[in-house]
Chains A and B, each alone.
Chain A
Amino acid sequence: MIKRFIGILALGISLSAFVETPNITGTWTMGLEGDHVIPVALVLKQDGQKLTGTIALPTQNAGHRVEVTLSGEFVDRAFKLSGTVEGAKEPTTLDISGKLLDDGSMEGKFEMPGHGHGNMSWTAERLKERK
């Protein structure tokens, strides 16, 4: 009886560990919900709780993008990332918070203090990379 209980407990612990440590490394198609949904590339690399990556943001010059390096943490299916947008008169910081949903997509908030379109919700789906 005790052996069976320990077995079930061990299985439960290993399953919960498997479920609770998802990896969000990869390329995500992120939709920034401003006056319309702006698709941007969010590329993440997860190493334990450490999270790094890039986001490619459109600039005011139509058709051009600027890539911003991000760093932060991923804990309990939620993350915070921050980075600095270079190239403007004043470097602008951006903060991204988000969480991984049960269906495998993500959602969260995007903030660029002092920027006109700086506070937006977003959703993201993992890109199915093809050649």
Chain B
Amino acid sequence: MFVTCKHLSRREALKGLGVTIALPFLDAMAPAGRALSATDRKTRLICVEMVHGSAGSTAIGARKNLWAPAAVGGDFDLGPTSLRSLAPFHDHLTIVSNTDCSSAEPFTASEIGGDHFRSSAVFLTQAHPKQTQAADVQAGISLDQLYAQRFGQTTPIPSMRLCIEKGDQGGGCGYGYSCAYTDTISWASATRPLPMVRDPRVVFDTLFGVLRLDETPEARREQLARDRSILDWVQSSVARLMTRLGPGDRARLSDYLDNVREIERRIRAVEVFSSSGEVRERPEAPPGVPDSFSAHVKVMFDLQVLALAADVTRVFAFKLGRDNSNRAYPESGFNGPFHPTSHHSGKEAKILDFATLNAYHVSMIPYVLDKLKNTPDGDGNLLDHTLLLYGSAMGDSNLHNHKRVPFFMAGHAGGALRGGVHLKAPNGTPLANVMLSVLHKLGVDDIANFGDSEGTFAL
């Protein structure tokens, strides 16, 4: 590592007209005379939800290890499971199986059958949503927001919430539940659901402070035609900064800006296609949203890695699906619609089809883990300093139950998680116990309860 004598502030940024690009961590930002260690920086957090539980949550799926591996401890085989794409990251995985989300169950007669309209609100809150279609929604503060409120206040953006499917439907979604419960997994307080952003362009502009005061369709088309990058607006700022950096930092900054340009190019390509008059598979989506699920997820993950690298924010909540969606995922190798496939009648062949979809959704995760692992951060890489958690508040979606819910974590969370382990909880263990312990590990260690937790869980 090369530590220059020309110290840069962590908040140094590239500035141009209407654009502010935060910088990745550079050696020049380290405190004088030493490299920045993991303990100098707070863990980054990515919370990913995929709806409708898993095939492995069924009785047949549990026997066949369609979600969690058979062996507990460190010597587990992901081969038969929907987590098999994560095998290269074995040492970064903490799989916690056999937990329940009983807060998503019905508490009263009128709530019976409303599981699809409740589950997403439960995933990160572990609290039981109030049955209402009005503005008086109530669940609980979510894990990502507890962390952001504690450790996200010194970054330009305390947290960001992203999604893949259409949200913002307003009003009631069914069985007497507000759409707020279905549209987001992130709650700033028990009564304040936070909106999620579906359009990569909005995420990009938010991260890089791009002003869009002239955002008419004509202005957008004109800008697309000009094909200019935000980097064009900060060229002189880049040139000035480069003169202050050592060779390692120059290379790192150059790679980072290449990534920014590449992501911007991909977003623009989608916008150009969307504006071309060609038939879109998802015509209701904003122009920056790719038709392809994997392309959409990957650009959203790329944006998250950029933001985490530049410490623009440390916290993301990312919702990959939406309850009751009939979207198909042909890239999975199975073309059946999601919702009916998740209702597999308990038949083994159909459960295996659902497992194919589960495996496909999980297969998006190695992409971001690889990006994080290849992004230097202080004395290690971003994956070492990140906690990604993935799961659902539903278990067996055919029964609409909330038992044996799918859940795993990846990353070493700045040394808080050793990884390389499968932990099987005793029957009836609330997932909230695990989340309470996760919060403690992340430094939110002055809370005794989270959601319906009954205690902690040894991680």
Q: Could you tell me which A residues sit within 8 Å of B by CB distance?
A: 27, 29, 31, 33, 35-41, 43, 56, 58, 62-65, 127, 129-131
Knowing A35-B345, A36-B345, A37-B398, the reply to whether A63 touches B174 (Cβ < 8 A) is yes
Jot down 6 A-B pairs with beta carbons below 8 A, ordered by A.
Answer: A31-B399, A33-B345, A40-B112, A58-B113, A64-B174, A127-B108
- Taking a contact as CB atoms under 8 Å apart, the answer to whether A41 and B110 are in contact is yes
- Taking a contact as CB atoms under 8 Å apart, the answer to whether A37 and B399 are in contact is yes
Which residues of A lie under 8 Å from residue B115 when comparing CB positions?
Answer: 39
From B106, B175, B346, contact of A63 by CB (8 A): B175
B57 nearest CB across to chain A (Å) = 13
A86 nearest CB across to chain B (Å) = 19
Q: Is the interface of A mostly helix, strand, loop or mixed?
A: strand
B426 nearest CB across to chain A (Å) = 20
Q: Is the interface of B mostly helix, strand, loop or mixed?
A: loop
- Taking a contact as CB atoms under 8 Å apart, the answer to whether B345 and A130 are in contact is no
Which residues of A lie under 8 Å from residue B399 when comparing CB positions?
Answer: 31, 37, 39
From A39, A62, A63, A131, contact of B112 by CB (8 A): A39
Which residues of A lie under 8 Å from residue B324 when comparing CB positions?
Answer: 62
Please provide the chain B residues from 95 to 123 with a CB less than 8 Å away from any CB of chain A in the complex.
106-110, 112-113, 115, 117
A65 to B69, CA, bound (A): 39
B343 within 8 A of A: yes
Which residues of A lie under 8 Å from residue B172 when comparing CB positions?
Answer: 63
B233 nearest CB across to chain A (Å) = 47
A37 to B401, CA, bound (A): 10
- Taking a contact as CB atoms under 8 Å apart, the answer to whether B112 and A29 are in contact is yes
The 8 closest A-B CB pairs, nearest first, are A63-B174, A36-B343, A41-B112, A130-B107, A41-B109, A27-B109, A39-B113, A37-B399
A31 to B400, CA, bound (A): 9
Flag B313-351 by CB within 8 Å of A: 1 or 0 each: 000000000001000000000000000100111100000
- Taking a contact as CB atoms under 8 Å apart, the answer to whether A37 and B400 are in contact is yes
A96 to B3, CA, bound (A): 77
